[in-house]
Homo-oligomer: A and B are copies of this chain.
Amino acid sequence: MEENKLPELDRTILPWLGRTMKALDYFLNDHFASRGLKLTKAQMILLKVLSNRGAMAQNSLAFITDRDKTSLTRLINTMEKKNFVTRSVDENDKRIKLVDITEEGKKMFNSAIPILQEIIVVVQDGVEQKDLDTTIKVLKQIGKNINVDELTAPLNK
């Protein structure tokens, strides 16, 4: 049997990215939970976008937040039940549903902000700014490399 070990993989950033993201997700969930915030990362991102940009169509929200529109539909379902957002039909185009943040949603997001700031401080502790810049540069390049038409691309976006 051919023994193919794919050792190269371990020297690329791929596994590091994966592990770091996982750890960050744990870290974020834990910080939110331990402060009694019943908020997921996905929900937080949506609250942030709506908070900054105001009401928008589900499609746009899906595009901006890199989600499949079906995923977004259900995320909004959940958040609607929690009274973080509202859905309303756009009278100019009845296919469109506008999602907007509620007062309760704003309140929740505002509670999340200081926690996020803490997280940022902890995460970037001991990392030099120039190295952060390099990392962001690399991530951008990777995005450019893969975010292409070669992908049977996100028609849903």
Bound CA–CA A142/B134 (angstroms): 15
Chain A interface size band reads 35 or more
Residues of chain B within 8 A (CB-CB) of A6 are: 48, 113, 116-117
Instruction: Check if B140 sits within 8 Å of A16, measured CB to CB.
Output: yes
Given contacts A6-B48, A13-B136, contact A20 B126 (CB under 8 A): no
Instruction: Check if B4 sits within 8 Å of A110, measured CB to CB.
Output: yes
| Cβ of A38 under 8 Å from chain B | no
Instruction: Check if A12 sits within 8 Å of B124, measured CB to CB.
Output: yes
**Nearest-CB distance from A64 to chain B (Å)?**
11
Q: Which among B4, B48, B122 is the interface contact of A145 at CB below 8 angstroms?
A: B122
Residue of B nearest to A146 (CB): B27
Bound CA–CA A17/B151 (angstroms): 20
Instruction: Check if B135 sits within 8 Å of A123, measured CB to CB.
Output: no
**Nearest-CB distance from A128 to chain B (Å)?**
9
Bound CA–CA A46/B39 (angstroms): 30
Residues of chain B within 8 A (CB-CB) of A48 are: 6, 9
| Cβ of A36 under 8 Å from chain B | no
Query: Which chain A residues numbered 105 to 157 have a C-beta less than 8 Å away from chain B?
Result: 106, 110, 113, 116-117, 119-120, 122-127, 131-132, 134-143, 145-147, 151-152, 154
